[in-house]
């Protein structure tokens, strides 16, 4: 396994991060425990979860994923061996009111403090290594939107208020470091500006989608990630498994996410399907597993700190973790760039 520095901290996180959002929906507790055992045994020391997981989010299951992680800590006694990341939810037009979560989640001091204590209880730990804002409270282009349409909003929890509340948690020892997710270049710069101007905690990471079907991170955030040491924690690196080849020619395998849930259409448009099949074909022409090629590409980007993989069984998990040992040839990279020119960000 390869390890990389998280922001400007002294933490070294594995270049492969274990994602957890299927646990409690597609995976039961025993399967989750098995995945954590396997990941740690294979050098993965970085686990990522969120208070809203599992997905699809439902009132009946909210928080169950964190509970599974907490159960693993309690049974295995290996909390000190894991760098643990979780997230706080805020308001969003994209997700709806979510009254089941604090009566409607916000990113103000009151909600953030309640959220972190609730997460700590479920996780059965007294600290979180990386506490992330799951998405901006303001309306902007995330969750499948590449374009931006400005909307004036007067009742937002400001970034200054959010960062101030997060900084309090660090001072109290409940959180070690803070980060953002689904953010834009403007949002990242605002967090950095307030950290410098108001002597608040500096964000150390940004968790955004990044894969062969959506390389929009490269446009405005890649340089910032490198120059400001706010590295990318890349999520959805297989574009909801579209890049694995399992959905080729319209296939819908039993138990697969796109088979089970209609809501996941982000990477299912005609251009995205055509691009996915082209990348799968390229991988197979070079004797590569399509998932391995797609993940190896993400692993190799200079602005990526860790690649968040997710799996519903150990075979998938092993393939995903093993991608760290794959170095793509110049010929394969040239093939990827040629396809990117043909299908430039076909999915958001």
Q: How far apart are CA 19 and CA 311, in angstroms?
A: 8
End-to-end CA separation in angstroms for the chain: 30
Using the structure block, give the residue that is written with the tokens 């972190």: 116
Residue that the structure tokens 């994602």 belong to: 19
Q: Say if CB 300 and CB 328 are below 8 A apart.
A: yes
Q: For residue 336, what are its two tokens?
A: 């990827």
d(CA 33, CA 142): 31
Task: Give the number of other CB atoms < 10 A from CB of residue 257.
Answer: 21
Active site (annotated) includes residue 297: no
Residue 30 Cα distances to 62, 71, 72, 80, 203, angstroms: 18, 10, 10, 21, 34
CA 200/CA 315 separation, integer angstroms: 43
How far is it, in rounded angstroms, from Cα 20 to Cα 16?
13
Q: What are the phi and psi torsion angles at 92 (to 5°)?
A: -160, 135
Please tell me which residue in 53, 131, 210, 235 is annotated as part of the active site: 53
Inter-axis angle of helices 330-342 and 290-299, to 10 degrees? 90
d(C-alpha 123, C-alpha 69), whole Å: 6
**How far, in whole angstroms, is CA 87 from its chain's centroid?**
10
Is there a contact between 130 and 84 (Cβ–Cβ < 8 Å)? yes
What the block records as the tokens of 151 is 């909307």
User: DSSP of 61-87, one letter per residue?
Assistant: TTTHHHHHHHHHHHHH--GGG-EEEEE
Instruction: Please name which of 158, 126, 137, 141 lies closest in space to residue 88, comparing C-alpha atoms.
Output: 137
CA distance 53 to 68: 11
**Which residues are annotated as catalytic?**
53
């Amino acid at each position: 396994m390869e390890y990389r520095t998280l922001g400007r901290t002294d933490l070294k996180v594995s270049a492969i991060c274990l994602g957890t959002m299927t646990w409690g929906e597609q995976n039961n507790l025993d399967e989750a425990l098995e995945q954590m055992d396997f990941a740690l045994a294979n050098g993965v020391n970085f686990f990522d979860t969120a208070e809203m997981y599992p997905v699809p989010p439902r009132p009946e299951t909210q928080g169950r994923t964190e509970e599974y992680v907490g159960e693993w800590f309690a049974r295995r006694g290996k909390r000190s061996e894991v760098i643990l990341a979780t997230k706080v939810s805020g308001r969003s037009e994209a997700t709806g009111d979510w009254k089941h979560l604090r009566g409607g989640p916000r990113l103000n001091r009151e909600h953030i403090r309640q959220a972190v204590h609730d997460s700590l209880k479920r996780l059965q730990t007294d600290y979180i290594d990386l506490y992330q804002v799951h998405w901006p409270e303001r309306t902007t282009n995330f969750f499948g939107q590449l374009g931006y349409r400005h909307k004036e909003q007067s009742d937002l929890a400001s970034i200054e208020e959010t960062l101030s509340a997060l900084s309090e948690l660090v001072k109290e020892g409940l959180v070690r470091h803070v980060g953002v997710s689904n953010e834009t270049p403007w949002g990242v710069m605002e967090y950095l500006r307030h950290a410098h101007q108001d002597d608040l905690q500096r964000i150390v990471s940004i968790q955004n989608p990044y894969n062969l079907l959506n390389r929009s991170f490269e446009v405005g955030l890649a340089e910032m990630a490198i120059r400001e040491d706010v590295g990318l924690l890349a999520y959805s690196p297989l574009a909801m498994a579209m890049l694995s080849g399992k959905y080729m020619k319209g296939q819908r395998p039993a138990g697969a996410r796109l088979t089970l849930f209609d809501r996941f259409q982000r990477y299912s448009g005609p251009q995205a399907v055509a691009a996915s099949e082209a990348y799968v074909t390229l991988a197979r022409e070079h004797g590569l597993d399509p998932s391995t090629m797609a993940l190896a590409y993400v692993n190799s980007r200079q602005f990526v700190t860790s690649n968040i993989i997710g799996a519903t069984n150990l075979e998938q998990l092993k393939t995903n973790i093993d991608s760290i040992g794959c170095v793509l040839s110049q010929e394969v990279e040239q093939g990827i760039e040629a396809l990117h020119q043909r299908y430039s960000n076909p999915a958001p």
